[in-house]
Amino acid sequence: MVPIILDGRKTASKIVDELKSWTEELKERGVTPKLALVMVGDDKYSKRYVKMKARLCKKVGVKPLVHHLPAETTQLDLLKLIEELNKDPSVHGIMVQLPLPKGLDELATVEAISPKKDVDGLSPATLGKILMGEECFLPAGVEAIIELLRRYGIEPERKHWVITGLSNIVGKPLAALLANMDVTFTCCQADNPDLAKYTREADVLVVDVERKWAVTADMVKKDVVVVDNGNNYEGNKVYGDVDFEGVKDIASAITPVPGGVGPLLIAMLIRNTLKAAYMTLKRKS
Amino acid sequence: MVPIILDGRKTASKIVDELKSWTEELKERGVTPKLALVMVGDDKYSKRYVKMKARLCKKVGVKPLVHHLPAETTQLDLLKLIEELNKDPSVHGIMVQLPLPKGLDELATVEAISPKKDVDGLSPATLGKILMGEECFLPAGVEAIIELLRRYGIEPERKHWVITGLSNIVGKPLAALLANMDVTFTCCQADNPDLAKYTREADVLVVDVERKWAVTADMVKKDVVVVDNGNNYEGNKVYGDVDFEGVKDIASAITPVPGGVGPLLIAMLIRNTLKAAYMTLKRKS
């Protein structure tokens, strides 16, 4: 059977078109959506990500407000900036690019972001609300997985999900979301020595173990849906955590790497920003 | 094989003795630990719980500060009280007895409690921190389970935990805690039609499905550790979610109901209050 290839690039491009019409509608109603992108220091990857985020903002019609602070920025100054952005009614979303340079407190920083503007879904209050099943923004990595499945007609409900690798931005918030859905889910640490025992149980397998091809064909059951969050660089080439060629013949659906969830991440961040902008309209009316 | 009976009453009584020496030490250092107990309205069970909490506070040497507000209290007045308690340096812990009367917003109420005083571990920020693996107070229901196992020499690590029933006060925060430990865990909703399939996999089985004897001997594997959070009343008699008589011959350890985790809950709340009091000492020094 030929599996469904969960094509993140195609899906992202459709979503971007949808978001353009959202921004048009918002502008007709007098709102220019604005996303603050805060980065500290000169990490090469962070710079690249912020640039990509700003670029997609512009394409969609969202105004990016880039705050590029020097590496020697103090915690106090960073918190002061976030406080200003929290208060600024023209700013709808605030994203702080992680990691921060050493010496800055990431937890205190994300904690400072107002839940109403936490479009990256990183603060403890947001994570707690996800776990409680309360309304809030989902981190892009989680929203991207659910979105990709739904766009291909794969219902997340009534499945046994297995999550391998529990990062703060994907595995843990995904588990928190699933705790409020009609599903069963199993979580394994990335270094679990019996990984295969659990991956074989999965109807939906979400892999984020940071090891090239850690999940192989013998580790999955027939018709599994596989979401690969791997991002393993060898030179300029990037490899997933799943051996795509081997697993694709067994799976009913699978993300390629590159081109799976990755391309959706920024679109999800921007969609959250637009949702935040819509909410300000609701609060006004 | 005779299973270990995880005796919550005996364990609680030992812990209460320990807590007495903590409060003595705190008093020698000039701190009288104080726990604010806030209840609204006249729910029979809430009144009983608050009374039990105040009584154990006194026994241990913690000053209970009971705020019993009338059922017609407004959200604004309730939040104002919490704000005062947040600011009062003589108050170390704040506990709001749930459920609140209709018309009051439980989420907004627990959100208002300062994380430093959230000794009941109920606010979204606290839940988010548990999920992130950051230091914070654990809800009594979670702390009680871990404590009971450790007191009987049962290490929680390197086990497959199965949690059936995902409430905001036990199942979900327990899952959040386990996400940061060297364990694998599976979460099932209480109404999962294939419950037995998952309970049979458990090394440690935590049951909170609110149905008398929902878990029977044929649903567990040999040497499982069983924690029963059931609280099913029939007249004056209370029954667990686990058929204790049937399961005990298969389990290596099991909580009775009554007398399992229940008796530990208030002790854990008070221990958190004492921890909060110790933290104010640290902040001073």
Please tell me the distance from the alpha carbon of residue B77 to that of residue A24, in angstroms, as a whole number.
42
pLDDT the model gives residue B21: 97
Please tell me the distance from the alpha carbon of residue A114 to that of residue A204, in angstroms, as a whole number.
33
Q: In chain B, what residues touch A176 (CB-CB under 8 Å)?
A: 131, 172, 176
Q: Which helix (H) or strand (E) holds A234?
A: strand A232-234
Do both B149 and B72 map to the same domain? Answer: no
Q: In chain A, what residues touch B123 (CB-CB under 8 Å)?
A: 125, 128
- Which domain CATH number covers B63? 3.40.50.10860
pLDDT the model gives residue B49: 95
pLDDT the model gives residue A143: 97
Residue A274 tokens read as 């637009």
pLDDT in tens, A253-278: 999 999 999 999 999 999 999 999 99
Do both A254 and A211 map to the same domain? Answer: yes
Residue A36 tokens read as 């603050």
Please tell me the distance from the alpha carbon of residue B13 to that of residue A285, in angstroms, as a whole number.
57
Q: Is residue A59 annotated as part of the catalytic site, yes or no? A: no
The minimal CB distance from B184 to the residues A111, A175, A188 is found for A188
Best residue in A106, A113, A127 for a mutation probing chain B (most B CBs within 10 Å): A127
Do both B242 and B167 map to the same domain? Answer: yes
Residue B102 tokens read as 């209709």
> Residue B127: which pLDDT band, with cuts at 50, 70 and 90?
very high
pLDDT > 80? residue A165: yes
pLDDT in tens, A113-128: 999 999 999 999 999 9
Do both B202 and B254 map to the same domain? Answer: yes
Residue A163 tokens read as 């999550």
pLDDT in tens, B18-38: 999 999 999 999 999 999 999
pLDDT the model gives residue A84: 98
Tell me phi and psi for residue A6, to 5 degrees. Answer: -80, 95
- Residues A141, A264: contact at Cβ < 8 Å? no
- Which domain CATH number covers A243? 3.40.50.720
Mean pLDDT within A81-87: 98
Torsion of CA B120, B125, B131, B132, to 10 degrees: -130
Do you know the residue count of chain A? 285
The alpha carbon of residue B79 is apart from the nearest alpha carbon of chain A, in Å, by 18
Tell me phi and psi for residue A134, to 5 degrees. Answer: -90, 155
Domain that holds residue A86: 30-113
The ipTM estimated for the assembled molecules is: 0.96
Is residue A19 domain-resident? no
Please tell me the distance from the alpha carbon of residue B89 to that of residue B78, in angstroms, as a whole number.
19
Is residue B272 domain-resident? no
Domain boundary among B60, B80, B114: B114
The structural domain count of chain A equals 2
CA distance to A197, A209, A215, A234, B1, per residue, from A245 (Å)? 21, 18, 11, 18, 49
The alpha carbon of residue A35 is apart from the nearest alpha carbon of chain B, in Å, by 24
Is residue A119 domain-resident? no
pLDDT in tens, B135-183: 999 999 999 999 999 999 999 999 999 999 999 999 999 999 999 999 9
pLDDT the model gives residue B285: 64
Helix (H, G, I), strand (E, B) or coil at A111: helix
Is residue A200 domain-resident? yes
pLDDT > 80? residue A285: no
Q: Is residue B218 annotated as part of the catalytic site, yes or no? A: no
The pTM is what? 0.97
pLDDT the model gives residue A1: 72
